[in-house]
Amino acid sequence: MAALVLPATLLVLGLLVAPMAILFRISLDRYSPTELVQEALTGENYLRAIADPYYREVLGTTLGIALLCTLLALLIAFPAAWWLARLEGRRRSLAVILTLFPLLVGNVVRAAGWMALLGRDGAINAALRGLGLIREPLGLLYTPGAVVAGIVAVVAPYMILTLATVIEAIPRNLEEAAANLGASPAAAFRRVVLPMALPGIAAGCVLVFILCMNAYATPVLLGGPQFKMMAPAVFDQFVRGTNWPFGAALAFILLLVTLALTLAGSAALSRRTAPR
Partner 1 sequence: MALQSLTGAVSPTTLPAGDGFGGAMAGWRLQRLAFGLAVGGAYALILAPVLAVMLISLFAQEIVSFPPDGFTLAWYGNAWDRREFARGFATSLQLALIAAAIGVPLGTAAALALDRSFRGRWQALGGALNTLLLGPLAVPGLVAGTALYIFYVRAEFWVDDDIKGTLPGLVAAHVLLTIPWTVRMVLASLAGLDRAPEEAAANLGARPFTVFRRVTLPMLRPGVVAASLFSFIQSFENLELTLLLVGPGRTTLPVAMLNYLEFRIDPTLAAVATVQILLVGALMLVTDRFVSLSRVV
Cα 253 to its chain centre, rounded Å, is: 16
- Positions of E strands within the chain: 30-32, 36-38
Number of Cα atoms under 13 Å in the Cβ half of residue 276? 3
CA–CA gap between residue 33 and residue 217 (Å, rounded): 30
Provide the H-helix boundaries in 29-143: 44-51, 53-85, 89-105, 107-118, 123-130
Nearer to partner 1, 55 or 78 (CB): 78
Q: Which among 230, 96, 209 is positioned nearest to 155, based on CA atoms?
A: 209
Q: Is 199 in the site for partner 1 (CB under 8 A)?
A: no
Residue spans of beta strands (DSSP E) within 149-266: none
State the number of binding residues for partner 1 (CB under 8 A).
Answer: 102
* Contact call for residue 269 and partner 1 (CB under 8 A): no
Q: Is 201 helix (H, G, I), strand (E, B) or coil?
A: helix
Interface with partner 1 in residues 57-76 (CB under 8 A): 76
Q: How far apart are CA 13 and CA 134, in angstroms?
A: 57
Q: Is 152 among the residues that bind partner 1 (CB under 8 A)? A: yes
Q: Which is nearer to partner 1, 257 or 269 (CB)?
A: 257
Q: Which of 18, 40, 267, 268 binds partner 1 (CB under 8 A)?
A: 18
Nearer to partner 1, 144 or 238 (CB): 238
136 binds partner 1 (CB under 8 A): no
Out of 41, 133, 186, 274, name the contact with partner 1 by CB under 8 A.
186
Is the Cβ of residue 105 or residue 268 nearer to partner 1 in the bound state? 105
Helix or strand or coil: residue 206? helix
3-state secondary structure of 227: coil
Does position 161 interact with partner 1 (CB under 8 A)? The reply is yes
Window 83-122: contact mask with partner 1 (x via CB under 8 A) = x--x-----xx-xxxxxxxxxxxxxxxxxxxxxxx-x-xx
* Interaction of residue 26 with partner 1, rule CB under 8 A: yes
Q: Which of 65, 157, 163, 209 binds partner 1 (CB under 8 A)?
A: 157
CB 211 within 8 A of CB 154: yes
Closer residue to partner 1, CB minimum distance, 135 or 275: 135
- Map residue 36 onto helix, strand or coil: strand
Taking CB under 8 A as the criterion, which residues in 208-227 touch partner 1? 210, 213-214, 216-217, 220-221
Report the residue number, 100 or 269, with the smaller CB distance to partner 1.
Answer: 100
CB 84 → partner 1: shortest distance, Å?
Answer: 9
Query: Of 237, 235, 254, which is closest to residue 245 (Cα–Cα)?
Result: 237
Q: Minimum CB separation from partner 1 for residue 63, in Å?
A: 15
Q: In this complex, which beta carbon is closest to partner 1, that of residue 68 or of residue 115?
A: 115
* CA dist., res. 27 & res. 47, Å (int): 11
Q: Is 126 in the site for partner 1 (CB under 8 A)?
A: yes
